Amino acid sequence: MITITDLSHGILRIPALSIEPGITTVFGPNGAGKTTLLSVTAGVILPEAGLILIDGSPPRSCEIGWVSEFPDRNILFERVFDEIAAPLRFRRLPMEMIEDRTMKIAERLSISRLLNRKMRTLSGGEKVLVALATALVTSPLLLVIDEADSHLDEETAWEMQDALRSNQPPYVLQSSQYQNIADVSDDHIRIHEGFVISRGMNQDG
Amino acid sequence: MELIADALIYRQGDMTIAADHRFVPGTTLITGRIGSGKSTLSLLLSGQVKPDTGTIRRSGIESEILSLQFPEYHITKTTVADEIRSWGVDPNAILTVIPEAMWRRDPHTLSRGELKRLNLACILARDPDLLILDEPFSSLDADMKKWFCHELQKRKERITIIFTHEREIIPDSDERFVMRDGQLEDAGGSMQSRTIACPHPEETQSRFGDGRLRLLSVICLSLGAFISIGGALLAFVWWTVVAQKGRRLPDKRLLAALGVLILVPAVVTEILVGGGISYGIRMGVILLISFWAYAEFRGGDMLDIFVWFFGERFGFDLGLAAEMTLQSFHLAGSDLREIQRAFSIKGMQIDYKTIIPAALTLLLLHIRRADETANLLAIRGFQSGGTHKPKFSTFPKDVIMTIFAVLIAILSLIYFW
């Protein structure tokens, strides 16, 4: 379980919140604090005050995967293989293990055929799947998807959801603009001006 | 009033964008998956990009605006109030969308959603005869999307063309099309445009698979060309032999600027003390060599070379930094084009008065991007160093050309002494 206690950061004020394993969608209008909530939960930024624990450990000591708002503009390497393998390389794992794990994740997301392509030549949807593979290659405890689908067409957004479900980490925290994608998630958190205003499944879902 | 796209064809990499349609007053909705060519067609229709063949004709259209997908490119001023005025709109006219409290803020500090609101409000206030919108809904929340759709209903007498992937909240449209692999088609799926055979552009094969040899050659040739005029001439011969395919030169204006930078001191030196012509030739050759090296650069080269030379700890960090610097050069080029577009959309020119805000926009875009990249590196777990096994494919021809490059440097040295 992810537990958030007495959190205060920017406009975000969350006295107590717990998130069960599964896919949780965060909702809210522009400027409500969605990205801030995702960032502090992932340990990308340290909160001004408050405590966040993922299965009892602070976020920075956990393995976290992140898919950013613009998967096609946040690319480090030119070749698909190098991009997916980057997190493993940064951890200085031996080359054989890097190759093995990169191949495996590519296979599970059905993008093996892309490994030798250049990032620049991929379609938008393929780039998103590569970004997802890169986030999943370290087998994270928590995967965060920050508005990644707000610049995607619906087919591509669903492709990403399908790929995610075939390879789901224990916790997934995503912000989405598509109501029907949010409807199929396990849980939702609606925030407004920094406060959690509703919790739990949608009535109609 | 109408906009006619007459057998438009434009090639971009592997894709061919094609459209043949008469756009009339009302709302035309063009959907399609990302990467299907929507943005490019929006640039073609607005005249920002010239088609390879075919023409765009307008009749009865007196004013037009293109709204770009990324709102930050539209910024030309340093306060929100001035930014609104730069669109030719009185800030009081759009108070319901952009409240007075925001007027004094720097537009670069607004979120993408807020910036998009600002742009759309200004564009609607201008009420142009022809309005082309590239992804107007991205970054907007549901309430703003509904507001924008409502506002568009008031434009029935004018032409509105919307490119979007949005499905849930869209305005009522008079016509709908889908972009598929660059082709504009009826929403039903039948081919709307004339079927056009589009041959794939041939793959350009570059030489020097081994980045180490290429780097060594560039160093030797630059040195040779710098030391003596004889070396410069030999290096020029080398360039004409090797850089047959990679003889790509940058933008004409950049070339002219660099040319002037070399010519002025050369002419002044020639007149005052002599030797200026030799300086001009030597620098010119160095420039040609560096353009070639830049055009031949392939992603991963720097990482390979640095790790091979300095090892997986320092070499990896240096190589990664070099890779990113080179990528940011590529990005700076495309950013510049976008900024030029933004200025021309507002009917402004980049001149001595606007060069500073334009440069500021470019700088801030890069700082923002550097910040995003730093975050990305941290998220991916980068601390220092990394695993990398450099791979080089060395061809005999490359070795021979490198030997010649080294010889040129040595000959140049001898000639100098």
The yes-or-no verdict on residue A99 having pLDDT over 70 is: yes
What pLDDT digit, counting tens, does each position of B281-336 carry?
A: 888 888 888 888 877 777 788 888 999 999 888 899 999 888 888 777 777 877 88
The pLDDT tens digits for B103-147 are 999 888 887 788 899 999 999 999 999 999 998 987 788 888 899
Record the tokens describing residue A52, joined without a space.
């966040």
**Using CB atoms, which residue from A77, A123, A154 is nearest to B299?**
A77
CB A11 within 8 A of CB A36: yes
Calculate mean pLDDT across residues A87-97: 92
Residue B201: predicted pLDDT: 41
CATH at A115: 3.40.50.300
Would you say residue B393 has pLDDT above 90?
Answer: no
User: For residue A30, what is the nearest residue in chain B, using CA coordinates?
Assistant: B141
- A27 within some domain: yes
The better pLDDT of the pair B224, B392 is held by B224
Tell me which chain B residues have a C-beta less than 8 angstroms from the C-beta of A154.
165, 167
Q: Are B62 and B130 in contact (CB under 8 A)?
A: no
pLDDT digits (tens, 9 = 90+) for B156-208: 899 999 999 887 788 888 899 998 888 888 875 444 444 444 444 444 445 67
- pLDDT of res. B207: 61
In percent, how much of chain B has pLDDT > 90? 30
Q: Which of A9-18, A144-153, B6-15 has the lowest mean pLDDT?
A: A144-153
Confidence of residue B243 (pLDDT cuts 50, 70, 90): confident
Strand partners, B347: none
High-pLDDT (> 70) share of chain B, %? 93
Chain B closest CA to A150's CA: distance in Å? Answer: 6
Is A171 a domain residue? yes
The verdict on A42 touching B (C-beta cutoff 8 Å) is: yes
Is A152 at the interface with chain B, CB within 8 A? yes
Domain assignment present for residue A182? The answer is yes
Q: What is the dihedral of CA A128, A129, A131, A136, to 10 degrees?
A: 150
What six digits make up the tokens of B239?
């360039």
Residue A112 lies in a domain: yes
No. of helices (H) and no. of strands (E), chain A: 6, 9
d(CA B413, CA B223): 9
Tell me if A205 is assigned to some domain. no
Nearest chain B Cα distance for residue A30, angstroms: 6
What DSSP state is assigned to residue B20?
E
The answer to whether A139 faces chain B, any CB pair under 8 Å, is: no
- Residue A11: inside a domain, yes or no? yes
**Is the confidence at residue B151, as pLDDT, over 60?**
yes
* Min Cα separation A160/chain B (Å): 14
Evaluated on CA atoms B143, B145, B149, B155, the torsion sign reads positive
Quick check: A100 contacting B, CB < 8 Å? no
Give A26-67 pLDDT, tens digit per residue. 988 777 888 889 999 998 888 999 999 999 999 988 899 988
Q: Find the helix or strand (DSSP H, E) in which B265 lies.
A: helix B252-272
Residue in B143, B165, B380 nearest the CB of A152: B165
* Measured CA distances, B179 to A76, A178, B5, B92, B166 (Å): 29, 22, 15, 39, 14
Give residue-wise pLDDT tens across range B12-57.
777 889 999 999 999 999 988 877 888 899 999 999 899 999 999 9
Helix axes A124-136, A80-90, angle to 10 degrees: 20
Structural domains counted in chain A: 1
Examine residue A204 and state whether it is found in any structural domain, yes or no: no
B389 chain-A contacts, CB cut-off 8 A: 95
Domains of chain B and CATH, by start:
2-186 (3.40.50.300), 211-416 (no CATH)
Comparing CA positions, the residue from B371, B376, B317 lying closest to residue A65 is B376
User: Per-residue confidence at A177, pLDDT binned at 50, 70, 90?
Assistant: low
Identify the domain containing residue A140 by its residue range.
Answer: 2-199
Residue-wise DSSP of B135-159: STTTT--HHHHHHHHHHHGGGTTSE
Q: Would you place residue A20 in the very low, low, confident or very high pLDDT band (cuts 50, 70, 90)?
A: very high
* Residue B88 zone, left/alpha/beta (φ > 0; ψ -120 to 50; rest): left
- For residue B170, what pLDDT is reported? 82
Asked if residues A27 and A183 have their Cβ atoms less than 8 Å apart, the reply is no
For B54-89, write each residue's pLDDT tens digit.
999 999 999 999 998 888 888 888 899 999 999 999
| CB-based contact A141:A170 (threshold 8 Å) | yes
Q: For B282, which DSSP code?
A: H
Domain assignment of residue A45, yes or no: yes
Q: Touching check for A99 and chain B: CB below 8 Å?
A: no
Q: What is the mean pLDDT of chain A?
A: 87
- Residue type at B30 in one-letter notation: I
DSSP A118: B
Buried residues in B249-273 as b, exposed as e (16+ CB within 10 A): eeeeeeeeebeeebbeebeebeeee
